[in-house]
Amino acid sequence: MTDPTSAAYRRRARSFGARAKAYGEHRPDYPLPALRWGLPEGAARVLDLAAGTGRLSEGLLALGLHVEAVEPDPEMRAELTRRLPGVPAHAGTAEEIPFGDGEFDAVLAGQAFHWFDLDRALPEIARVLRPGGTVVALWNHDDESVPWVAEFAQLSRTNSSTRWLSQRPELPPHAAFGAYQREEFPHRQRRTAETLVETIATHSHLLTASEEERAATLERLRRFLAKNPETAQGEFDLLIVTTVLKAVRS
């Protein structure tokens, strides 16, 4: 996994703001069973950390929770506020969370845990959690058990594509947390060929690619989707697997 403290990795982590509106429109949400699994019993007040445009917050609100959001990028934060005006959106990072000790029942991060400097972030997350609260990391992945999805995923790779943190066999332990538990949940997103390409265009490895590589990759994907029988005619379901990791605050 690339070093999250490196300049190249920080550049990728900061690349989303210029595409904040497209990110909010095209990125998939998270299945409610996955959110329920991550939450401790009786959860009421939760933190969406590195909240982006609020895709995870939407699901947390649907569960009747009080949600606070923390997001470092001002353009992403502004889009979150436009989409979800009832969710307070605070400037901050996983390494410097702008809340007091023990304020939350759960801290959740959707499609973001891999951007954190975990040596600094895990103590901060532990600080703002109550004992018995959970830290929850979620990632949406294309379901590559479906042949066309696997081929599409391979075609979308660029020179800077990296493995997800959720694909590692272990995450760094921390004395404040028990062992991580892992679960997977089926999910799907209704797409067209064009909106699926727009989704891929919001991924950091394309946002930071050269103009030539970005254009070539997106055109390659459009050609594939136009020829593929499952995607060539109107709307279709993109099958997704949501991976969830959680650990309990001691």
Can you give the pLDDT at residue 166?
54
245's CB contacts (< 8 A; 6+ apart) are 113, 136, 137, 138, 166, 171, 180, 181, 182
**Which two structure tokens, joined as six digits, stand for 68?**
């606070």
Can you give the pLDDT at residue 22?
66
Quickly count: other Cβ atoms within 10 Å of residue 15's Cβ.
18
Can you give the pLDDT at residue 26?
73
Can you give the pLDDT at residue 245?
95
- The CATH number for 7-143+162-189+240-248, chosen from 3.40.50.150, 3.40.140.80, 3.40.630.10, 3.40.50.300, is 3.40.50.150
Can you give the pLDDT at residue 168?
58
- For the chain, residues with pLDDT lower than 70 are 1-20, 22-24, 158-170, 205, 208
